A and B are shown apart, each in its own frame.
Chain A
Amino acid sequence: MKRIDLSRDTLTLGSFGGKVFVLSGVLGLAGLGVSFGLKSIAGNDAFMKSWLFAFLAVLAICLGALFFTILQHLVKAGWSVAVRRLSEGIAANLVWIWVLFIPIFVLMVSGNGGHLFPWAAPEAAHDHLLHEKSSYLNITFWWIRAVVFFAVWALLSRFYFGLSRRQDASGDYKATNTMQWFAPLAMILYALTQTFASYDWIMSLEPKWFSTMFGVYYFAVSVTGFFSAILLLIFFLQKSGRLQEAITREHYHDLGKLLFGFGVVFWAYIGYSQYMLIWYANIPIETSWFFPRQIGPWYWVSLILIFGHFVLPFLLLVSRWPKRFKGSIAIIAGWMIIIFCVDVYWLVIPVVPESALAGAETYDQLVEAVTPASLGWQLNAVDFLLPASMLSLLLSGTMFNLRRCSLVPTSDPRLEESLSFENF
Chain B
Amino acid sequence: MSALNVDNTVDDPRQRSPLVLGHTDFASVTNEICAVNEAPKPPKLWYVTLVISACLASTLLVLVGYLVVTGVGVWGNNNPVMWGFPIVNFVFWVGIGHAGTLISAILFLFRQKWRTSINRFAEAMTIFAVICAGLFPGIHIGRVWLAYWLFPIPNQMEMWPQFRSPLLWDVFAVSTYFTVSLLFWYVGMIPDLATLRDRSNNRIKAIAYGFFSLGWRGSMRHWHRYERAYLLLAALATPLVLSVHSVVSFDFAVSQLPGWHTTIFPPYFVAGAIFSGFAMVLTLAIPARQIWGLKNFITMRHLENMNKVILLTGSMVGYAYGTEFFIAWYSGELYEKFAFINRAFGQYAWAYWIMVSCNVLSPQVFWFKRARTSIWLMFIVSIFVNIGMWFERFVIVVTSLAQDFLPSSWGYYEPTWVDTMTFVGSFGLFMTLFLLFIRFLPVLAIAEIKAVMPEADPHAHHEHDPDHDHEEGHA
A: residues with CB less than 8 A from B are: 1, 3, 76, 78-79, 129, 132-133, 136, 173, 176-177, 180, 184, 188, 191, 195, 199, 208, 210-216, 257, 265, 269-270, 273-274, 276-278, 280-281, 283, 285, 412-414, 417, 424
Contacts and interface: CB of A to CB of B under 8 A. Distances in A.
A212 B266 CA distance: 11
B13 A413 contact: yes
Contact of A215 (B13, B323, B333, B459): B323
B293 interface: no
B332 A129 contact: yes
23 contacts: A173-B14, A184-B311, A184-B367, A210-B327, A212-B324, A212-B327, A213-B263, A213-B267, A216-B267, A269-B242, A273-B263, A273-B265, A273-B266, A273-B267, A274-B263, A277-B250, A277-B262, A278-B263, A281-B253, A281-B254, A281-B261, A283-B256, A417-B16
Max count, chain A CB within 10 A of own CB: residue among B109, B332, B333, B469: B332
A212 B254 contact: no
B350 interface: no
Contacts of A3: 469
Contacts of A214: 263
Given A173-B13, A177-B13, A417-B16, 11 more contacts: A3-B469, A76-B11, A176-B13, A212-B262, A212-B264, A212-B324, A212-B327, A280-B254, A281-B253, A281-B256, A285-B333
A280 B367 CA distance: 40
Given A132-B332, A191-B319, A213 B264 contact: yes
Interface residues of B, number: 38
Interface of B: 11-14, 16, 109, 111, 227, 239, 242, 246, 250, 253-256, 261-267, 311, 315, 319-320, 323-324, 327, 330-333, 367, 457, 459, 469
The B contact surface, by secondary structure, is helix
B18 to A, nearest CB: 15
Contacts of B469: 3
B333 A76 contact: no
Contacts of B330: 133, 136, 199, 210
A180 B327 CA distance: 32
Nearest to A273: B266
Given A133-B332, A273-B246, A1 B457 contact: yes
Contacts of A285: 331, 333
Max count, chain A CB within 10 A of own CB: residue among B246, B253, B265, B330: B330
A168 B320 CA distance: 39
Contact of B263 (A76, A132, A195, A211): A211
A79 B112 CA distance: 12
Contacts of B333: 285
A273 B253 CA distance: 10
B234 to A, nearest CB: 12
Contacts of A133: 330, 332
Nearest to B110: A75
Contacts of B255: 281
Contacts of B256: 281, 283
Contacts of B12: 173
Contacts of A136: 330
A298 to B, nearest CB: 20
